[in-house]
Structure 1
């Protein structure tokens, strides 16, 4: 029997080819302009109109269905309990490997969710902000394990999610700079009464086995819907290498960049360096910590060449 991983058969999910998934949406309206798609895309990933229409519009409609059902359930429970409590945000979790394109997926979903009826307020946070500062990682000997479960302040992340799901009107979230490769000491993201919150990160579906103080509470416990962005490892590795080369010629050229020292690497040197990082860090993290969580997602987007989604797997309910 085909499996998503060693323990979860694909029969736990309803599979859709790209064409089958695209047919689920009846809308023919242009959702995102070329300018908007360019802003959402990344240095190594462009977003086509077909990708939005075929994949993300049906996904947005499915998410809207889940959100409206959540709102209706809240109203029904309030009526049953004869109490008036505020509806807490609908939380979407997005997981996947480094370089698989989960950040672009998160931004696409944010843009589409904000166009739902009544124009909900949609905030996007990344778990990079919950990494320990570099100084702490250096002190603990974890700089070469950055991105692994032990490099995150999971208690702080769970505290944020508790506050979010408790209806706190104002929450501050730490911010991370990919340029300086560190937490920003003097900046925060302000979360103020959102209707929808998207939480994106490589670790959001992990079960925090190393956290002995709160072993029964997981980040995913706070999600109303979760998505895993998937691809064959060879594709992800190639995307990582190409992105490293692009950054070498752009962001790494800035003196304040943590990777400024690598700005003058030749193509062959950059290729070798990126492959080494993948084989010793990112590939190991994917195999041991990230991909094993795939089966915990409600929906899996399986990408092929060029970041094009070729299959969608929706968990049966």
Structure 2
């Protein structure tokens, strides 16, 4: 990176060591056993990673939560109205298999264990995918995860209700095993202090070729803070194949699994299928829709091949 690029970057850039030094005295409140339960398939997040990367992040988020709360209270004082509890919303974006779900769960756990005893809910945008029957009717089953596969108006209504302080808001439930929305199951969100929304396209901006179908409000409009989990594509593709190979001999072997047919593949056959799926679907979605939103995030976590975060970029105020 040239000095000119650094000079005009909207971000402050930190090496791993520089970021770790910002932990200050934030206590480590997760045990090794608890951390193990938060990790995704084929991921290993060490306690060192939590200490050097996630504790400074938790400290920063706690500071932001406090300041936004103070701002809301000051606004209500000015307006002479009673303050309603409004959740602080964190958006977490990134590619399939990059580890954003693990990041979301670790951030949730650390915020819940902070000195402020925050109530933190976690919702994924998977629940707002259209059911398979609708995707099939529209001929976009292989576009699942692309922007058009989401019931975006329902997601925006959900966030609007949460942000307006409604006592109870519900979100649909998605099963990765059956690869579909689970009928009659809902997640309840009841005025948490913090809501984390994790998903592929949560940072998507308005389309330049906007049509009448595009909403006037966007998911990212509701965020108080946003995180993008980043890595080189060849690393992410490798992690995706590793996960596919693991699922081939575990979850895919359950008869009710949508991908049960893949459980009989040999390792080499699975390798070819995984790469084909990546090239046709996940890689294309990354290039077209996900990666272009990276620089809209407030904070970028850049991972190395071993899943550890190598550097952090924080947007300047």
Shorter-chain TM range is over 0.9
Match of residue 167 from structure 1: 165
Equivalent of residue 100 in structure 2, options 89, 99, 102: 102
* Mapped pair 1:141 → 2:139: yes
Scaled by the length of structure 1, the TM-score of the pair is 0.95
For 1:10 and 1:157, how far apart are their aligned partners in 2? 35
What's the counterpart of residue 275 of structure 2?
Answer: 275
Indicate how the Cα distance of structure 1 residues 10 and 264 shifts in structure 2: closer, same or farther if over 3 A, else same: farther
Shift in Å, 1:196: 0.5
Quote the residue 2:231 is aligned against.
231
Question: Structure 1 residue aligned with 2:187, among 186, 189, 200?
Answer: 189
Q: How does 1:189-208 map to 2 (within 5 A)?
A: 189-208=187-206
Corresponding residue to 1:32 among 23, 30, 33: 30
**Cα distance in 2 between the residues matched to 1:199 and 1:220:** 10
Secondary structure in 2 aligned to 1:16?
Answer: strand
> Structure 2 residue aligned with 1:150, among 137, 148, 151?
148
Deviation at 1:313, TM superposition (A): 0.4
1:121-162 C-alpha deviation (Å, 9 max, x unpaired): 100000000000000000000011111000000000000011
How many residue pairs get aligned? The number is 314
- C-alpha deviation, 1:216, in angstroms: 2.8
Shift of residue 116 of structure 1? 2.1
CA contact (8 A) 1:2 1:10 kept: no
The answer as to whether partners of 2:98 and 2:230 remain within 8 angstroms in 1 is: yes
| Cα deviation digits, residues 11-49 of structure 1 (max 9, x gap) | 111100001000111237432101111100112112210
DSSP-derived class of the 1:100 partner: coil
RMSD over equivalenced CA pairs, Å = 1.8
User: 1:92 and 2:90 equivalent?
Assistant: yes
What residue is the counterpart of 1:251 in the other structure?
Answer: 251
Residues 55-75 of structure 1 deviation map (CA, whole Å, 9 limit, x = unaligned)? 000000001111100111112
Q: 2: CA distance between counterparts of 1:77 and 1:69?
A: 12
Q: Please give the secondary structure, in 1, of the residue aligned with 2:306.
A: helix
Equivalent residue for 1:131, pick from 116, 122, 129: 129
Q: Is the 8 A contact 2:88 2:195 kept in 1?
A: yes
CA 1:143–1:20: 2 relative to 1, 3 Å: same
Q: Can you give the 5+ residue segments of structure 1 that lack an aligned partner in the other structure? A: none
Q: Please, which of 114, 128, 131 is the counterpart of residue 116 of structure 1?
A: 114
CA 1:76–1:39 in structure 2 vs 1: closer, same or farther (change >3 Å)? same
